[in-house]
Amino acid sequence: MPLRSLTVLVTLSTAMLSVFLVRPENPRAPQPSSPSTDGASSPQSLILQANDGEHLLRRPVGQTRPGAPGSIPEFIIKVDKQNGGAEDFVMLTEDLNPGAIINFHKHHNAEEVLILEEGGATVTVGDKRALAGPDAVVFIPRETWVSVTNTANHPIHLSALFSRPGFEEYLRARSVHPGEPLTPQPPEELHQAAEHGHCTFWDVSKGPYPPGVPHP
């Protein structure tokens, strides 16, 4: 073998041996970082159909029957921290049956927007009262009393959006998932749920309307 060829062979062999000797110190190439442990609560893109979301049924209060006139038993949490990992707002939907009433209440930590697809709901918010038409939008500032009554003879589909999380805690404490027992909820438990949900419901024992709101 010519001397020059032998020199090249030795050089290549030395280089390959160096690679194998160095590799154990760095056994594998850097891998993509694993998902964060809180990935389940990280924001996720969602495309939700009409019936998609977390279905919940309101528990009756005291001795009230779940199907009593004016009750709104079922609703859907569409987006919140648990559904989509939303950090800044909450959205839910529900159908108001004829005669259904959302009693006077106010939110302490969030603004709210209501979208009423069908007309026929009587809405009282702050110092205003009106019969809402189709696709009506209602803006509810913080610390503002609001009530909605379906005074039509057909269901009204309602969407509610909250600017900050919190009210969903009240909703979950107030409800059960389909298939779970609809046990009555004691008033004291309901009061605790409202505190956790940063909301206050008007005490009707003080009268039908909170101070400052219009009424017939």
| 45 within a domain of the structure (yes/no) | no
Query: Can you tell me the mean pLDDT for 203-213?
Result: 94
pLDDT of residue 81 exceeding 50, the answer is yes
| 4 within a domain of the structure (yes/no) | no
Q: Do the beta carbons of residue 212 and residue 128 sit within 8 Å?
A: no
| 116 within a domain of the structure (yes/no) | yes
Number of domains in the chain: 1
Q: Do the beta carbons of residue 145 and residue 126 sit within 8 Å?
A: yes
CA separation for the pair 209, 206 (Å, rounded): 8
Task: Lowest mean pLDDT of 56-70, 150-164, 181-195, name the range.
Answer: 56-70
Question: Sorting pLDDT into bands at 50, 70 and 90, what band is 73?
Answer: confident
Is the four-CA dihedral 141, 51, 179, 165 of positive or negative sign? negative
| 211 within a domain of the structure (yes/no) | no
| 134 within a domain of the structure (yes/no) | yes
| 58 within a domain of the structure (yes/no) | yes
Q: Do the beta carbons of residue 54 and residue 74 sit within 8 Å?
A: no
Higher pLDDT pick, 11 / 157: 157
Residue 75's domain spans which residues?
Answer: 53-206
Report the CATH number at residue 102. Answer: 2.60.120.10
Question: Residue 31 is which amino acid?
Answer: Q
| 10 within a domain of the structure (yes/no) | no
| 22 within a domain of the structure (yes/no) | no
Query: Can you tell me the mean pLDDT for 77-82?
Result: 97
Nearest alpha carbon to residue 146 among 158, 132, 128, 159: 128
The whole-model pTM stands at 0.78
